[in-house]
Amino acid sequence: MSTAVADQHPRPDVAPLGRMAAAQVRATLLFYWRNPAFFVFSLVLPVFFYAFFGLAFGRQRVAGNVTASYLIMAQMGAYAVSSILVFNIGIGQANRRATGQDRLLRATPLPSWIALFADIVGGLVLSLLSLLALFVLAVAAGGVRLDPLEWGSLLLRLVLGSLPLLGLGLAIGYGASQNAAPALANLIYLPMSFASGMFIPIQNLPNFVRTIAHYLPTYHYAQLVLGQFGVSEEELWRSVLWLAGWGIVLFAIAIRMYRLDQIRKFA
Amino acid sequence: MSPPDLEARDWRPDRPSPSVPTVMEPVVELIQARKRYGSVEALRGVDLTIHRGEVVAMLGPNGAGKTTSINLMLGLRRPTSGQVRLFGRDPGDRRARSRCGVMLQESGVPMGLRVRELVETFRAYYPNPMPTARVLTFAGLEAQAHVPANKLSGGQLRRLYYALSICGDPELLFLDEPTVGLDVESRRAFLDTIEEFAAEGKTIVLTTHYLEEADRLARRVIVIDQGRIIADAPPSEIKSQVAGKRVRFDCVGPIDEAALRGLPYRHLELRGGHVQMLTNQPEEVLREVFQRGLVIRNLEVVGADLEEAFLALTARRAPELVEVEGRQLETEEAAG
């Protein structure tokens, strides 16, 4: 009897990928919604810094209509997006490994790339929220005026330029333990951001730091974003090339770390 | 490779081949499976076939290779040598995995998500999921549907993992020590839950430390020790092989082995005046003790735990074991 029923309703072999991805994205967003402590730092700190520095020192004219307020907004935006990628997505993987969530998911038919995709979408949503808050403040209080095309271009630079740092975050998240990951991320990412002029204008940094900065992904990310206002120290193609190079290196390390973790657990 | 693939499409599960009864369809197969972690040999050549509708308990002391066997079946680990098939496919194949549900010993869920939300998320991973309400009823979590996972009690958390394992309406369910860490009450309730699911004609593979659990749920018990299958038989047969009770007492006055000779015990430990025996006939043992006029104190009769039970099975009853294995071979030959 049961075979006859099965004939009438042929059962699919696997669940549709779209349905899996939608469910996973929903779960990721719910997780953030219920645990604001996990992202409030990355979301609020850049806005807070902007309110502090951007509004205090922003009146100074840099080029044409562009004031320091524009640049500080752009750099705080870069800081916001990259810290979400490194701290929320990257270290999120370390937490998932430590709590055995990866084992449970691995035993289900969910492809692991869908779980990662959902994490990236979640990070993107956080980034956009953070940027939105920052932009609103910059327009309302910082006197920033851009046309829609310029906003779009800035957003694109902020999001695409941050991708190598996603590689950094994942490398740490797959390679380090839950306890070590946040410390390691702070140790690598924070000095890198400082040296690249994200908090203090790079012109004010000592020469040797500026020399080192030229090799850092965060420096080229900052330059890419500042290029939106024509105050970059390097041409656009140079920033893109450097970021692409760093992206390949960091993602290669991330993939290596992922494989090692998989072999340790599942080989 | 492609012609057999095309042929395979012709016998989808909804069109069973007439010559092979569906009951005998192998769901899990281990063929000479070995697993080595560094210098440790966790499995030393295991041959095992589990058929559709069987409820199988894998029994054995800690480190015997139960979890390793389950991990191989699930594709969570790869065999060092030998073969593993799940629904006739590689265990890593998503088509095979979509027909399984798994409850692992060590696993976690995202913090803050509620029971219902987690069940709904996991349902989306499977092609033919069970309705959420039914999952919650099966797992006995209706009242906790809106409770965040991290606010659940230990027993409720096990139920949540159980709910996640059945939400794909699996044909095959793996339960790795499902009742470990539960109090007596929760364990009993949880066993009821599993029994209910088994009554649907599902294939269930569970590992356990407890013989009574295996006895209650399974119709086939596979005993693993030191990476090998040492027995594969119905629970009643296994039970007669192992010592189910531990009798302990202190003797008033001197005692030696001779004084206890002839008692129906499987294993005896004498330490000063402390006597400990593993036996299946505690009543007989005690009657003899009293008849021989021994004066005892602090008498205790409890169910032996598995390590103790198998102490009797592995160390003392080696000839009988061979017998059990021989019998199993015969039944397999008869079936084939």
Chain A, window 92-111: residues with a beta carbon less than 8 angstroms from a chain B beta carbon: 96, 99-101, 103-104, 106-111
Highest mean pLDDT among A8-12, A59-63, A166-170: A166-170
Helices A68-83 and A148-161: crossing angle, nearest 10°? 40
CA distance B273 to B255: 7
Subunit contact A7:B13, Cβ cutoff 8 A: no
ipTM of the predicted structure?
A: 0.86
Q: Is the minimum CB–CB distance between A23 and chain B shorter than 8 Å?
A: yes
Q: Sketch the domain layout of chain B as residue ranges.
A: 21-240, 243-303
Q: Is the minimum CB–CB distance between A9 and chain B shorter than 8 Å?
A: no
SS (H, E, C) chain B: CHHHHHHHHHCCCCCCCCCCCHHHCEEEEEEEEEEEECCEEEEEEEEEEEECCCEEEEECCCCCCHHHHHHHHHCCCCCCEEEEEECCECCCCHHHHCCEEEECCCCCCCCCCEHHHHHHHHHCCCCCCCCHHHHHHHHCCHHHCCCEHHHCCHHHHHHHHHHHHHCCCCCEEEEECCCCCCCHHHHHHHHHHHHHHHCCCCEEEEEECCHHHHHHHCCEEEEEECCEEEEEECHHHHHHHCCCEEEEEEECCCCCHHHHCCCCCCEEEEECCEEEEEECCHHHHHHHHHHCCCCEEEEEEEECCHHHHHHHHHHHCHHHHHHHHHHHHHHHHHHC
Domain B243-303 part of CATH 3.30.450: no
Subunit contact A100:B127, Cβ cutoff 8 A: no
Contact status, residue A168 vs residue A250, Cβ threshold 8 Å: yes
Residue A148 to chain B, least CA–CA distance (Å): 37
Q: Is the minimum CB–CB distance between B167 and chain A shorter than 8 Å?
A: no
* Residue A167 clears pLDDT 70, i.e. is over it: yes
Total residues found in chain B within this entry:
336
What count of CB pairs under 8 Å joins A to B?
A: 106
Residue A5 to chain B, least CA–CA distance (Å): 9
Q: Which of A101, A109, A266 is closest, CB to CB, to B76?
A: A266
pLDDT digits (tens, 9 = 90+) for B238-279: 777 776 788 899 988 778 888 888 888 877 888 888 888 888
Q: In this structure, what are the phi and psi dihedrals at residue B269, rounded to the nearest 5 degrees?
A: -130, 130
Q: Which of B13, B127, B161 is closest, CB to CB, to A14?
A: B127
Reported as type and span, the H/E element at residue A74 is helix A68-83
Q: Which of B13, B95, B106 is closest, CB to CB, to A14?
A: B95
CA distance B140 to B119: 13
pTM as predicted: 0.79
Q: How many CA atoms lie within 13 A of B46 on its CB side?
A: 37
pLDDT of amino acid A9: 56
* Residue A7 clears pLDDT 70, i.e. is over it: no
Q: For chain B, which residues score pLDDT lower than 70?
A: 1-24, 243, 304-336
Q: Is the minimum CB–CB distance between B74 and chain A shorter than 8 Å?
A: yes
Domain B21-240 part of CATH 3.40.50.300: yes
Give percent of chain A above pLDDT 90: 52
